[in-house]
Amino acid sequence: MTSVESDRADQEAFSSSVVLEQTAAAPESLLASPDQLSQAEITQEIIDYHAAADAREAAGERVGMTLHDYPPYRSSILRHPTKNPKLVDPETIELWSPAFGQRDVAAIESDLTLQHTGEPQGERMTVQGRLLDSWGRPLANQLIELWQANAAGRYIHQRDQHPAPLDPNFTGAGRVVTNDNGEYKFTTIKPGAYPWKNHVNAWRPAHIHFSVFGTSFTQRIVTQMYFAGDPLFPLDPIYNTIRRQADRDRLIGQYDHDLTVPEFSMGYRWDIVVDGPDATWFEPEEGDH
């Protein structure tokens, strides 16, 4: 077969598979775009949308900490609600949350460096802190899940095509249940920055994803912890979906030398505060079903 015939055969094979287009496109193909903006254009959009949010707030609008309508984060454009959310009083079930106990996760699940036969590559670190409510009360027996890229900035997720090495000794997912003082602790590897295709030369600052349950379902959050001083902060649309610096600062894990273990691991401290309406002040009674 000549190379021309071979090409034609490939095209036919391709056209006979177009029915597959009925399934939704994979994320990486949605992100890749020939008319992507430059970093300078995205950075300017970040600044402009923060200013616009400030102006709306100054005009009396209730504006949340995290902006849902935030075009610099390109994949949000068709995925954010356009109507204002309804402010409601939580009903009974929303003031409760699934019950967790120490038995619900194995102790080893909080150490991401022990999940394989060998030691993962990278800088061993611990991150620990307290889970608190809006009144500073520690929340015991709540589940915290964590997932992250490896030291090279690669996720084990099959659609992550970043050409950095996977680490056979690192999966990057863990769980822990807070203790009686609301404290949690993970041992892991410091994640690397990684590229994504939001715009030309887009890189995410190093971060760890956290998923957190509070005592009330209204308090549920998924967020990301970052590392102080990252030069990618002003460039990153996702970090900047949070419009105020003071709010973004609360997602930064602080290096704490007292938590660093000699010859072993670097220590970071990060307290997590779950919000809740005033109704979450009251401890529901066991009989109050």
Partner 1 sequence: MAENTVPEKTHLASPGQTVGPFFAFGLDYAKKHEVVFPHSPGAIVLGGTVYDGAGAPIPDAVIEIFSADSDGSVPRSRGAFRRDDHSFTGFGRASTTDDGHYDFWTRNPGSVNGEAPFFAAIVFARGLPDKLHTRIYLPEDAERLAADPLLSTLTADERDSLIATRTPDGGLHFDFRLQGEKETVFLVY
Please, are residues 185 and 126 in contact by the beta-carbon 8 Å criterion?
yes
What span, in angstroms and rounded, lies between the C-alpha atoms of 116 and 170? 7
50 is catalytic: no
For tokens 């079930």, the residue is 93
Which stretches of 168-265 are DSSP H helices?
245-249
Please report how close the Cβ of residue 272 comes to partner 1 at its closest, in angstroms: 5
What span, in angstroms and rounded, lies between the C-alpha atoms of 22 and 20? 5
Exactly one of 73, 204, 226, 239 is catalytic; which is it? 204
Exactly one of 194, 226, 239, 268 is catalytic; which is it? 194
- First-to-last CA distance in the chain? 74
Q: Phi and psi dihedrals of 249, rounded to 5?
A: -60, -30
Nearer to partner 1, 146 or 235 (CB): 146
Nearer to partner 1, 6 or 66 (CB): 66
Please report how close the Cβ of residue 262 comes to partner 1 at its closest, in angstroms: 30
209 is catalytic: yes
Nearest to 186 by CA among 108, 117, 100, 120: 108
Nearer to partner 1, 262 or 287 (CB): 287
Exactly one of 199, 207, 239, 243 is catalytic; which is it? 207
Q: Is the dihedral of CA 212, 78, 249, 228 positive or negative?
A: positive
Please report how close the Cβ of residue 199 comes to partner 1 at its closest, in angstroms: 14
Exactly one of 124, 209, 220, 269 is catalytic; which is it? 209
Please report how close the Cβ of residue 96 comes to partner 1 at its closest, in angstroms: 5
Nearer to partner 1, 57 or 260 (CB): 57
Please report how close the Cβ of residue 203 comes to partner 1 at its closest, in angstroms: 14
Exactly one of 155, 226, 239, 268 is catalytic; which is it? 155
The rounded Cα 7 to chain-centroid distance in angstroms is 43
155 is catalytic: yes
Query: Which amino acid belongs to residue 1?
Result: M
Q: Within 13 A of 49's CA, how many CA atoms are on the CB side?
A: 20
Nearer to partner 1, 43 or 240 (CB): 240
Please, are residues 74 and 236 in contact by the beta-carbon 8 Å criterion?
no
Q: What is the set of active-site residues?
A: 155, 194, 204, 207, 209
